[in-house]
Structure 1
C-alpha cells in the first residue's frame, strides 16, 4: 500500500463505454492503481466516435472508475477540447494516452498548469499509411516539440520505442502493455474446430478485407470454415462490413458481433480454435495475448508488434495476409497441427499481468515527480 497515495489523472480521447485496446488499457491500469490505494480519475471526450450523435454524461462511474467527459469539435483524428484544463483538480500527475490534441495541448500549456506529465505512445498516429507525408512532418515538428514537456515518454513496444527515439533520443522507457489474463483464460474450444475468431476495431489498418479474402480461399475446397468478427465500428461501419460479407458470398461463413461484453466474447471463444489477425499495424497486440491466454492458436500478419511477440511465443504463426492463398494455407497448417495434438497450449504470459505493469508505471510516476521537483509522493506497492 502506498505511504502517500497519488492523485492521478488519466487523459484519453475515447473511454468506456467504448471498447477497444486503448480503452481497455486505461481501464485496467486505472483499476489496478486504485486497488493499490491511489486516487484515480479518467478525463475523456463526451461523444463516442462510433456514435457522434449521442452525448454521454459529464460525470459517471463505470466499472468502479470515476470518469469526467468534456465536449470537443473537429475531426476524430484530432479532436479539439479546449476545456480540458478546467478538470485538473487535485491531480499530482497527468498521464496522457496516445499522441493527439491532448498530448500537444498539455505540452503547450505546461508553463501554466505546471503539472508533472507522463505520456504513453500507444503506436503514435502511424496506424495506417494514409497521409503519411503529413504525419511525418507533424511528427518531426509539433510532436518533437511536445515531447520535451513531458517528464517521461513510455513506449508500449520496442517498435514504438524505435519510432520515438528518433525525436527524443535516450529518453524513452519501454513498458509492455498489461493484459487481463483471467478474462478469457482457458476459454477456447476443447476440441479442434475449423472456427476462427478475430477481435478488434472495424478499422482500415485491421485489414478485415484481407481476412474475408482468406475466408474465400479457405472455403474454396468446401464450406467448412467459420469466422467470427468481434469488435466495434471505427472508420468502417458494421453496415459496410456486412454488405462486403454478402457481396463476397460469405454470409453463411462469416458472422459479425458488435457491442459484446466480456462474458459474451468468452462464449464465442468457446466455439473457436484459432485466432486470426490481418492487421497491418498494432501498437502492441493485446488481443493476440488475450487469445493466447484463452488457448486459441494465433495466425497473424507479420507487422512489427506481432513479429516481436512471435519471438517470445512460438505458438504464433505468422502469415502474409496480402496473399490470401498463403494465409489460408498457414491457417490450415495451424489447424492440422492442433488436430494432430502437436500444439502445446499454455504459454507463460506472466510478464503481462497488470499487477507488474502498474508497479512499473508507479515507478515512472515517482521519477517524474522527482524530476519535476514535486518530491516523491508515493512508494511503489
Structure 2
C-alpha cells in the first residue's frame, strides 16, 4: 500500500508514567506524523502533564490502569471485559490501515487489540529477559493469537533472541529512536565535574544501590564531584547526592548537556539503552554496565566502543571506570570526543528509525497480500 497510512498505535502502559516503551510510542507517533501519516494512540491512564507535545497527538484513553509487576518494573496496564469493550470501540470508530502493537503478549490492551484486529498487524517487542515466564507461557497458550502478527519487530539483538526462543517467530531488528535535535544544544560546564544517573531508580534492577556503594571510592579517587539522580523515586540518598524528581524533555536535555559522565549501573533485564543513547546525543561520556543491550548501543560500526563498560554489580569495577571517565572528561580532545558521541547517537535518530518502521509497515502489507493470494 502506497501513500499516507492511518495507523493505530497501542501502548500497553500508561502514558502518565515515564518509561522506555511510552517514550518510544510518543516519539514514533510524532515521526510518523512528520512523514505525513495519520497515527492515533490508545493507552491506559491519562496524559503526562509534563509532556506538552502530547497535546498535539490524537490519544485515546482505555480507562484507569492497574499496577502490575512485569520484567522487574511496575507498570499500569488494562485488561478484562471493560477494557476489551473500549478497545473494540476504538477500532470500530476508526478506519485504520494497520495496527502497530507494543508488547503484544503482555496481559494488556495490546493483546486485546491483537485479538480484535481485522487489519495487518505489526508488533514491537521491547522485552529481553532470558527465561521469561510470561513469554514462555505466551508461546504455549497464545499460538493462534501470535499467528495474527504479520510482522514482528525487536528493538535489539537480545530482544530478538528472546522473542525467537519463546514465541518461535523471527522479528526484524529496528532500534528505539530518539530526537537527537533535542540534545544538540551547546554543552554547559559545571563548576565541578558532574555525574548523572537517570530513570526509575527505585527499581532494584536499575543498580542505584551499586552506584551509591561505589560512590565513596569514586570520591576518594577524583575529589569533589556533583552527583545528580534524575527521575522519580523514594530511595534514601546519602549527603552530597541531589535528586531532581521527574524532568520534562527540555529539563532532561539540559541536565545531560551539563553532565560530564552519565552512569547506567543497571543489573540486567534491559533490551535497549535509550537513556544511554540520549546521553551520547548530549555529548556526555558514558559508563554503563556490561549488558548486551548497552554494549550494542555503545558499539560503533567499526567495532569500537564510544563509552566505557564495567561488570554489572561490580562496585570496584564501576568506581574505576567512572574515575577514569572523569579523568578524561575535561582534558585532551574534548570537543572531538563530543562530536564522536553525537555522531554515533544519530544512527538512532527518528529521521533514520522512523522510515525503517514505515518500510516494515509496507512489508506487513506485502506479507498479508501474499498469504491472501495463496489462500
TM (norm. structure 2) is: 0.82
Of 278-287 and 340-349, the range deviating more from structure 2: 340-349
CA deviations over 1:338-379 (Å, ceiling 9, x no partner): 33315522222332121221111111112212333499xxxx
Distance 1:192 1:334 in 2: 17
Pairing of 1:83-102 with structure 2 (within 5 A):
83-88=86-91, 89-98=94-103, 99-100=105-106, 101-102=108-109
Distance 1:192 1:154 in 2: 44
Give the 3 Å change call, closer, same or farther, for CA 17–169 of structure 1 in structure 2. Answer: closer
Distance 1:269 1:200 in 2: 13
Distance 2:246 2:329 in 1: 30
More helix by share: 2
Structure 1 residue 8 corresponds to structure 2 residue 7: yes
Structure 1 residue 329 corresponds to structure 2 residue 320: yes
**How far apart are 1:142 and its partner, in Å?**
3.5
SS in 1 for 2:339: coil
Q: Which has the higher contact order (CA 8 A, sep 6+)?
A: 1
The 8 Å contact of residues 196 and 226 in structure 1, kept in 2 or not, is answered as: yes
Pairing of 1:1-381 with structure 2 (within 5 A):
4-14=3-13, 16-46=15-45, 62-72=54-64, 74-77=66-69, 79-80=78-79, 81-82=83-84, 83-88=86-91, 89-98=94-103, 99-100=105-106, 101-107=108-114, 109-110=115-116, 113-123=117-127, 126=129, 134-135=133-134, 137-142=136-141, 145-167=144-166, 169=168, 171-190=170-189, 193-202=192-201, 203-220=203-220, 224-232=224-232, 238-239=233-234, 241=235, 244-245=236-237, 250-252=238-240, 254-279=241-266, 280-312=268-300, 314-341=305-332, 344-347=337-340, 348-349=343-344, 350-373=346-369
Give the 3 Å change call, closer, same or farther, for CA 32–155 of structure 1 in structure 2. Answer: same
Distance 2:154 2:31 in 1: 19
**How far apart are 1:321 and its partner, in Å?**
4.4
**How far apart are 1:36 and its partner, in Å?**
1.6
CA deviations over 1:133-171 (Å, ceiling 9, x no partner): 733542442455543210011001111111112245563
Count of aligned residue pairs for this structure pair: 344
Give the 3 Å change call, closer, same or farther, for CA 323–167 of structure 1 in structure 2. Answer: closer
The 8 Å contact of residues 136 and 166 in structure 2, kept in 1 or not, is answered as: no
Distance 2:208 2:138 in 1: 28
Q: Which runs of 5+ in 1 are unaligned?
A: 233-237, 376-381
Q: Which runs of 5+ in 2 are unaligned?
A: 70-76
CA deviations over 1:201-236 (Å, ceiling 9, x no partner): 23332121112112232234686222211123xxxx
SS in 2 for 1:171: coil
Give the 3 Å change call, closer, same or farther, for CA 277–314 of structure 1 in structure 2. Answer: same
Give the 3 Å change call, closer, same or farther, for CA 265–187 of structure 1 in structure 2. Answer: farther
Distance 1:144 1:359 in 2: 30
TM (norm. structure 1) is: 0.81
Distance 2:312 2:370 in 1: 50
Of 260-269 and 204-213, the range deviating more from structure 2: 260-269
Distance 1:293 1:61 in 2: 20
